[in-house]
Homo-oligomer: A and B are copies of this chain.
Amino acid sequence: MITIETFVRILDLGGTFVFAISGALAAVNRRLDIFGILVLSFVAGNFGGIARDLLIGAVPPAALTDGRYLLVSVLAGLITYFLYSGVDRLRTPVLLFDAAGLAFFAVAGAQKAIGFGLSPVMSALLGMLTGIGGGMTRDILLTEIPQVLRSDLYAVAALAGASIVVIGDVLGVSYGVSALTGGALCFGLRYMAIRHGWHLPSAHLSAQGRAETDSSNDKKPH
């Protein structure tokens, strides 16, 4: 029992750290000051879990009651701030860490939703939300369309990992096994997307339709 909770907590804190670095890097790139960098670190690292906790009624969210989430986020922000050029050179490692964070969050988020009595399908989706929510909020704060909505199997990998946990729960598989399997699947899909450019199709617009769409976009107020 305690082992599983500790395991979940470690996954959560590890995911928080790598996601917080992604938030801090984005903030540095957009010239935010040190405070803005720390806010983006916290948001990217914790907002997926906070959104999940608000939706399942687990208030105050764990990110607010357990000081370690804040500590880990601030640490990631400060490291990025002081070692920016170093962290920035590590883009590929950061992508891999980010894939690991996604796997951690998707698995832990699905498990928490199951524990709060959500249905299997919704638990899988909340696991996905836990994985992608922080990055989405980071992008919205920087007024960019969330990358997760357009790229590289990101959310699908999270959904696949979370689904394994949910299916394992339905079938009565031990959480340790399903968490490892789901996490590995999520990480593996992200890895293939990064290395080999796997991606999802977007809607087929004819050249005609595309031109129309472009011009209608141009007319839109901004």
Q: Which residues of A contact B (CB under 8 A)?
A: 27-37, 39-40, 50, 54-57, 59-61, 64-65, 67, 70, 80-81, 84-85, 88, 116, 118-119, 121-122, 125-126, 136, 140-146, 148-151, 155-156, 199-206, 209, 213, 216-217, 220-222
Residues of B within 8 A of A70 (CB): 121-122, 125
Interface majority SS on A: helix, strand, loop or mixed?
A: helix
User: A64-B55, A221-B150 given as contacts; is B141 within 8 A of A209 (CB)?
Assistant: no
Sorted nearest first, the 5 A-B pairs with minimum C-beta distance are A36-B149, A57-B59, A33-B200, A28-B203, A33-B202
The smallest beta-carbon distance between A16 and chain B, in angstroms, is: 15
Docked-complex contact B88 and A209, CB < 8 angstroms: yes
Partner of A122, one of B67, B125, B148: B67
> What copy number does this chain have within its complex?
3
The smallest beta-carbon distance between A160 and chain B, in angstroms, is: 12
User: A56-B60, A64-B55, A213-B29 given as contacts; is B121 within 8 A of A35 (CB)?
Assistant: no
Docked-complex contact A119 and B149, CB < 8 angstroms: no
> For the complex, what is the distance from the CA of A61 to the CA of B118, rounded to whole Å?
11
The smallest beta-carbon distance between A208 and chain B, in angstroms, is: 9
